[in-house]
């Protein structure tokens, strides 16, 4: 499937099952305008991240298509569904004053696919070193044990 076919295919499945956008909007509490835009591949007014993925999953369930495959395709074709956490983690770190963040996104970016490398595409990326950052962030919260 191509990016251009994503929304129209969802619309076709919805119409074939006799479900109106009004019914989808009522069930999801998301406006008909946003659903209509999704069916036209216009995500300019959509939320991002987990909210966008959640909306798409609920829509897919309501129209009777595979929600996992639909969310995967959405993530692949639209930046609103980005599953990578680096941007969010950096923003949260800035809020709490951790300017020196050691975050490493273990999923290498690949054009057109936000799910990571092809299976067997070489060496797996090294696991991030979370213990150092975790200890610095939460070490002061752990009471010391003196005998």
Domains of the chain: 3-81 (1.10.260.40), 86-141 (no CATH)
Helix (H) or strand (E) holding 19: none
The pLDDT score that the predictor gives to residue 76 is 82
The pLDDT score that the predictor gives to residue 75 is 82
| Predicted TM-score (pTM) of this structure | 0.57
> Residue 27: which pLDDT band, with cuts at 50, 70 and 90?
very high
The answer to whether the Cα torsion of 86, 90, 96, 100 is positive or negative is: positive
Max mean pLDDT among 29-33, 104-108, 112-116 falls in: 29-33
Stretch 11-40: mean pLDDT = 94
Q: Which residue has the higher pLDDT, 68 or 78?
A: 68
The position carrying tokens 């092809």 is 118
């Amino acid at each position: 499937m191509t990016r251009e076919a994503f929304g129209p295919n969802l619309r076709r499945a919805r119409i074939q099952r006799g479900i109106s956008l009004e019914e989808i909007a009522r069930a999801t509490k998301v406006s008909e305008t946003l659903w209509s835009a999704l069916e036209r591949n216009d995500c300019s007014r959509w939320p991002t991240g987990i909210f966008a993925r959640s909306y798409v999953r609920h829509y897919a369930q309501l129209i009777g298509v595979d929600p996992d495959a639909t969310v995967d395709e959405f993530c692949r074709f639209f930046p609103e569904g980005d599953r990578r956490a680096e941007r969010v983690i950096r923003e949260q770190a800035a809020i709490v004053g951790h300017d020196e963040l050691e975050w490493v996104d273990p999923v290498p970016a690949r054009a057109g696919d936000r799910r990571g490398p092809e299976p067997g595409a070489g060496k797996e990326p090294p696991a991030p070193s979370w213990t150092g950052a975790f200890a610095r962030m939460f070490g002061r919260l752990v009471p010391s044990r003196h005998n």
